[in-house]
């Protein structure tokens, strides 16, 4: 008799009429299978109920720190041929790694007798002592003394150098005037001027020596006072590296063929060479590992966000998300070996069978209407794009052709330069932001403010390219003006006027909770899938690069 695994959850809803998918979910770009959706709904019902553990997801607006979580479900078949599912959360929840019927982590770093917690406790003590030393008044005085004396040194040297420049000019002037005197008198004056020059150079030399010796004494005093802090910082760095290496050594991942690989070996051949922090703690690897260890056959995967949105990345309550590229892609690429997986849709040429409409052209430039799901420039695997099509259409063009880009999923107006002169001129207009552009979009919800400006700096998500993050520390300025056109059937038609031109700017500014908090309909990165991304570059105004005439073009959106 087969004993049912406590993490295996039978479906509450009848699934007898549903067919099992023939291939496993491609985790990096997918629409959840119906079984996966039902499993997610049942897990969400559980999370909405009375729990015997406590975690503030930000839904009930509790006073404690709100932390939303990514959850995953894996539909599986057990040894008794029963269909059910297993569940997991990313990272830790309610302060622990192991909780209820969720599958356990690959390695539980939070066990009381484990090396990690002991190391963390030591790091905590080191950090506390470093903070105390940072607050020490004697150290503060010594550090300020070094800064103040260094500034005085620079100021006095600067002042003396300025005087030396003026005196050099005066000496030159005196020599010129002395040429009208007798040779003996000229020689006497010239000798004295040379002595004055040497005296000033020696004064500068002595000034350098005086301050260097004085500052060195101050630095030594500071060094003596901060020796313990320096030692603690070095110890902290070394201990952190040891703990990280220790964690990496504990993580090993199975695949469907039963082959095991360590985390370090999986990331060895990646561009970064070493695993990023928290690699292996996401839901998908935990689910697959548990399935392989417990003879559960993986059938379908789905992951969703539960709770308050994070401050930087765009995650919406109950929305489905693909596995991340930076942490999960190398791991899952190994773990999926031996499973028959859905084809990667990102390898399929979305432009096949589509044509590019020429809105206007002359001997210098062309205005095109790019279809949605059409690359502007070649991708890693797909070469069919606006650039390749234009290169074929205009074989004698002397310019680089592409002046600016649109996201693959965005349709609308693009400028094509046929000559280098036209390209350079148009590029300068873009750099000076003198070109006016307008986009129309359909948002998947209602925006109340009729007009406004969104100002949220952006940078790439290093762990999940090409997604963008809102980042006030390292992000580049990104500003968008908007104007609502109409609200109909729970959707908002809107005009966007980008002031800057960052990657995914309009999509992030629409979806982020500090922006409009309403994703563009069909945005599969920052919102929900639909038949297309409802974003269209409908208008452009610029100075013709040759005639200098102000020209305007518009193309109506197909939605």
| Residue written as token pair 């087969």 | 2
DSSP per-residue string spanning 429-489: HHHTT-SEEEEEEEESS----SEEEEE--EEE-TTSTT-EEE-TTTPBP-EEEEEEEEEET
Residue closest to 526 by CA, chosen among 222, 206, 312: 312
Q: Distance between CA atoms of 132 and 555, rounded to whole angstroms?
A: 64
Helix (H) or strand (E) holding 293: helix 283-293
Q: Distance between CA atoms of 102 and 92, rounded to whole angstroms?
A: 11
Instruction: Please identify which of the residues 33, 407, 444, 523 carries the catalytic annotation.
Output: 407
User: Is 463 one of the catalytic residues?
Assistant: no
Question: What values do phi and psi take at 360, rounded to 5?
Answer: -160, 150
Q: Where are the beta strands (DSSP E) in 28-178?
A: 69-77, 83-89
Q: Decide: 519 and 533 in contact? Cβ < 8 Å.
A: no
The number of helices, as runs of H, and strands, as runs of E, in the chain is 10, 18
DSSP per-residue string spanning 207-250: HHHHHHHHHHHHHHHHHHHHHHHHHHHHHHHHHHHHHHHHHHHH
User: Residue 83 has which token pair?
Assistant: 């269909």
Q: Distance between CA atoms of 538 and 60, rounded to whole angstroms?
A: 42
Q: How many residues does the chain have?
A: 559
Query: Using CA of residue 400, residue 402, residue 404, residue 405, what is the dihedral sign?
Result: negative
Residue closest to 524 by CA, chosen among 373, 383, 382: 373
Residue closest to 323 by CA, chosen among 347, 341, 302: 302
For residue 270, the 8-state DSSP code is: S
Residues serving a catalytic function are 407
């Amino acid at each position: 008799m087969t004993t049912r695994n406590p993490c295996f959850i039978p479906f509450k809803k009848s699934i007898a009429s549903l067919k099992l998918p023939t291939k496993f979910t491609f985790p990096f770009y997918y629409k959840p299978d119906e079984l996966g959706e039902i499993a997610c709904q049942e897990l969400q019902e559980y999370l909405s109920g009375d729990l015997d553990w406590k975690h503030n997801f930000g839904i009930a607006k509790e006073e404690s720190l709100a932390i939303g979580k990514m959850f995953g479900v894996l539909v599986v078949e057990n040894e008794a041929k029963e269909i059910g599912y297993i569940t997991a959360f990313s990272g830790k929840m309610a302060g622990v790694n192991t909780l209820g019927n969720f599958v356990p982590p690959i390695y539980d770093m939070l066990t009381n007798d484990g090396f990690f917690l002991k190391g963390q406790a030591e790091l905590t003590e080191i950090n506390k002592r470093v903070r105390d030393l940072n607050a020490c008044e004697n150290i503060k005085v010594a550090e300020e003394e070094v800064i103040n004396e260094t500034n005085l040194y620079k100021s006095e040297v600067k002042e003396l150098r300025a005087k030396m420049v003026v005196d050099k000019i005066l000496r030159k002037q005196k020599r010129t005037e002395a040429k009208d005197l007798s040779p003996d008198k000229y020689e006497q004056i010239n000798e004295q001027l040379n002595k004055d020059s040497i005296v000033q150079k020696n004064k500068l030399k002595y000034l350098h020596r005086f301050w260097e010796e004085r500052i060195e004494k101050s630095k030594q005093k500071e060094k003596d006072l901060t020796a313990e802090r320096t030692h603690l910082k070095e110890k902290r760095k070394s201990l952190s590296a040891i703990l990280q290496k220790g964690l990496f050594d504990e993580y090993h991942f199975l695949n469907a063929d039963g082959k095991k690989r360590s985390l370090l070996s999986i990331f060895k051949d990646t561009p970064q060479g070493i695993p990023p922090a928290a690699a292996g703690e996401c839901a998908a690897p935990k689910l697959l590992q548990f399935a392989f260890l417990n003879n559960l056959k993986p059938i379908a995967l789905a992951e969703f966000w539960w709770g308050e949105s994070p401050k930087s990345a765009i995650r919406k309550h109950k929305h489905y998300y693909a596995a991340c590229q930076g942490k999960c892609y190398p791991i899952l690429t190994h773990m999926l070996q031996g499973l028959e997986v859905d084809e990667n849709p990102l390898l399929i040429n979305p432009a096949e069978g589509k044509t590019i409409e020429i809105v206007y052209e002359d001997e210098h430039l062309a205005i095109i209407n790019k279809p949605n799901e059409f690359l502007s420039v070649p991708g890693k695997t797909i070469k069919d794009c606006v650039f390749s099509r234009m290169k074929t259409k205009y074989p004698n063009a002397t310019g680089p052709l592409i002046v600016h880009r649109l996201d693959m999923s965005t349709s609308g107006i693009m400028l094509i330069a046929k000559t280098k002169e036209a390209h350079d001129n148009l590029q300068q207009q873009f750099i000076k932001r003198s070109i006016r552009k307008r986009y129309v979009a359909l948002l998947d919800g209602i925006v109340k403010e009729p007009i406004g400006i969104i100002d949220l700096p952006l940078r790439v998500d290093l762990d999940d390219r090409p997604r963008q993050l809102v980042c006030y520390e390292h992000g580049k300025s990104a500003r968008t003006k908007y104007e609502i056109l109409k609200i109909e059937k729970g959707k908002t038609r809107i005009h966007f006027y980008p002031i800057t031109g960052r990657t995914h700017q309009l999509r992030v500014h629409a979806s982020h909770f500090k922006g409009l908090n309403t994703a563009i309909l069909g945005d599969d990165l920052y919102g929900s899938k639909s038949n297309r991304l409802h974003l269209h570059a409908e208008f452009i105004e610029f100075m013709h690069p040759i005639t200098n005439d102000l020209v305007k073009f518009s193309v109506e959106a197909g939605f």
